[in-house]
Chains A and B, each alone.
Chain A
């Protein structure tokens, strides 16, 4: 009988601890260079770990492969999947920009979501955040129409570069005494874009006058340090990009972008401020995005699949990305 009681007690304890054990096991997904995605149950910014290395000239060393969360769009904190919604637990979330609480309900079952439902939910989730650029009123309808018709209108649909700052933070940063190399591997699938690279001088030079520049996708970027923050100041863009991840956020050739990079251990925080008085009422700053350093020191930047043009213009419905 003693053994029966012990068995019952053990069984009860196991049943009680099972959910916790499952949660721990699920959150213990390893992160390596080959991990496709960190399957998170929350998405708040993780606590930074490690020390910030410095270069001989005393600046933080940003060199590295910043895809430590697996490089998947949905797995990063504050990434485009949730448009600035920080999910701190299965029952608590908030809008990063405004701080407003967002109602959150735990996953109570594992019912599969079909692709259509998943796509539609993603469309809503990516737009729910409150941090929106304020366009001049005469452009409000245009922005809305571009977004609603993104299947046809999105300039990155046909394997064109995402541009700056839509490309977000670079996946690879190479830091040299007088310049930086940024690499943005292209994406297949959801956001099919071309690979981009930038060589950004940090030698104290001034910008070329805007009138003398032919607009490009990545513009003329020049870097300098403000304390421990790297500031990349860019102008000289063409008008063939949108500046936010989605939403029809077009810009003029007079767009001026200031990106800020700050390293804290294994975390890189990136923001971009867009100033374009031709179309915006006021400068707009992205919700901060966090990149994690790839913890594998031997990790290399893998070749990505070529971008495939999509026939979205012939899509039957307006369901968009």
Chain B
């Protein structure tokens, strides 16, 4: 009987020691990654920090889980951008985007700082792997409403804008599953930053994304690696707050800086960031579909990304 009692006592002591060891190890790993110990917890922490993971207390729904509430967003800002030359032009920035389906409409008005030149106004749109330029939003969808010019070659570069935004980081990191990795840069010190790396898929297969987090689990830097130099980009995000005219609880950066080849290509201060899924649609004009049909290899769907 005494032997059995000792066995049980020993088992309990062992269990307590194992638990204590695991707990201590978890706390050691926690130090610099916002109290997260693994990839999924870190990604969830980012989603929570951004106001993406939400649930409501409405009657009948109070026990439903948190779900990703980010689909459509509209962003307005001003600053400077490059039109392909190395000159920074004063710019008004207006982006409408959707993750489901993946789509972006980027409207940019650039004003030359050299006097006399007329402002450049461009609308670059992408949905799935269809890319086109619009003379006005919705151009080419019905007679008399502007023109849509196919720009299929630009599809990947435009789609990439979705997945380098902080919300795209969360979505793509989850989509990449086990291929998403977490590391601590600069060692596990107080200033060490949690870094998430993951590969993109679908038409952006071959692009790897590295996202750096701050202590509040906001995404502060996103860097891509790819064989295609047009898909290599660096984006810095800062001044997070709810920048919506009507508050939604979605936290967004107040400043976006994008660089390519070490040179700034976009430096924007945000004026308004509507993250509350406004009405934004991206139907593909018929002439763009026809152009894509002539390039079937490039018109693969992005489903699954």
Contact = CB atoms under 8 A, between A and B. Distances in A.
A-B complex is real? yes
Interface string A71-101: 0111100000110010101110101001011
Interface in A152-192: 190
A119 B44 CA distance: 22
Given A104-B66, A106-B65, A134 B283 contact: yes
Contacts of A40: 60-61, 63-64
B68 A103 contact: yes
Contacts of A318: 245-246
Given A74-B60, A130-B100, A102 B68 contact: yes
Which applies to chain B's interface (DSSP): helix, strand, loop or mixed?
loop
Nearest to A149: B246
B101 interface: yes
Interface in B254-305: 275-281, 283, 303
Interface residues of A, number: 72
A1 B67 contact: no
Contact of A117 (B1, B65, B72, B249): B249
Interface stretch (A135-143, A214-222, A254-262, A297-305): A135-143
A112 interface: yes
Interface string A94-132: 010010111111110000110101111111110111101
A248 interface: yes
Contact of A128 (B66, B71, B101): B71
A156 B155 CA distance: 42
A138 B145 contact: yes
Contact of A121 (B5, B59, B246, B249): B249
Nearest to B274: A148
Interface string B96-126: 0010110000000000000000000000000
A134 B101 CA distance: 14
Interface of A: 1-2, 4-5, 8, 26, 36-43, 70, 72-75, 81-82, 85, 87, 89-91, 93, 95, 98, 100-107, 112-113, 115, 117-125, 127-130, 132, 134-138, 140, 143-144, 147-148, 190, 247-248, 281, 317-320
